[in-house]
Each structure stands twice: as C-alpha cells, then as structure tokens.
C-alpha cells in the first residue's frame, strides 16, 4: 500500500542557488513516514517512547534526481516493505514527486529497540501488520 502526503517547499529551505538545500529532502520524507507509521501501523512515537520502545533508523540511501525550488508543491510517497532476510527491520521506499516526475527517491530502514538496550525487534502488533508486506533485500539496492 502506497501512502502519500502533499507539501510545499518553504522559503527557509532554499539555498543561495535558489534550490532546496539537500538537507531538507529527508525531513519531508520523515514527516510523511512518521505520519504513515502512526496512521497505518498504529505506532505513536511519544506513547511508545514512554513505554520504553524506541523506533530508530539504521540506514538510508537517497538519490537526488531533480531539484525543488521555492513554493514548489510536491507529493511524498511512502511504501512499507518487510525484510527479505527475515530480520526485524522495516524498509520504507519513498519518493518525492512533482508534476509526475520523481525528484528524489530513497529507502529508509528502521527497527525498534528497548530504551534500556538490547537486540532490535518489532513489537508483535507491528510484526503482524508487516508480515504480508512485499519483501525488500537492501543488499541488492542499486
């Protein structure tokens, strides 16, 4: 299932070249991904942190294809993938799209860890929701 949210480039995210600074592309993706995680997966970061469960990123890859400019309106997509190797990881394939063109694409990988430390895991409710998701092998990403 692909999830999406619409955004508009903020003036303060524009660099001296008149394009959006590369630093901000992951932020827009994070805002969309966090909404997806809360609305679709039912994981509320604040509530879970209070219970000692932290969802963290372990890695991400990002490809810049085209630049966004001030006031550009665009869509950020988010699609969940389970780990092909069966590891307790979530992979989120994301894109920034404007006028039908992919501007930026990325894969963010995350997992959960106890606030007190220990091995990565997925809470049972989340693991249940992920079990039928398409599988992704991050080792083969190009």
Chunked into runs of 10 residues, the chain (142 residues) has average pLDDT values of 93 96 97 96 94 96 97 97 94 97 98 95 92 88 60
pTM: predicted TM-score of the whole model, two decimal places: 0.93
How far apart (Å, rounded) are the C-alpha atoms in residues 71 and 103? 15
CATH, domain 2-140, list 3.30.1490.110, 3.10.129.10, 3.40.50.10490, 3.40.605.10: 3.10.129.10
End-to-end, the C-alpha distance of the chain in Å comes to 22
Cα dist. 91→18, 36, 115 in Å?
32, 13, 21
pLDDT at 101: 98
pLDDT of residue 1: 65
pLDDT of amino acid 54 = 97
pLDDT (0 to 100) of residue 107? 97
């Amino acid at each position: 299932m692909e999830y999406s949210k619409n955004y508009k480039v903020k003036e303060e995210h524009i660099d001296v070249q008149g394009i959006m600074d590369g630093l901000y592309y992951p932020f827009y993706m994070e805002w969309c991904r966090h909404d997806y995680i809360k609305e679709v997966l039912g994981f509320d970061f604040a509530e879970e942190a209070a219970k000692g469960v932290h969802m963290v990123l372990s890695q991400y890859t990002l490809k810049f294809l085209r630049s966004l400019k001030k006031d550009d309106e665009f869509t950020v997509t988010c699609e969940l993938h389970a780990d092909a190797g069966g590891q307790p990881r979530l992979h989120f394939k994301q894109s920034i799209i404007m006028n039908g063109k992919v501007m930026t694409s990325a894969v963010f990988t995350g997992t959960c860890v106890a606030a007190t430390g220990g091995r990565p895991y997925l809470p049972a409710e989340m693991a249940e929701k992920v079990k039928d998701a398409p599988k992704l092998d991050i080792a083969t990403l190009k």
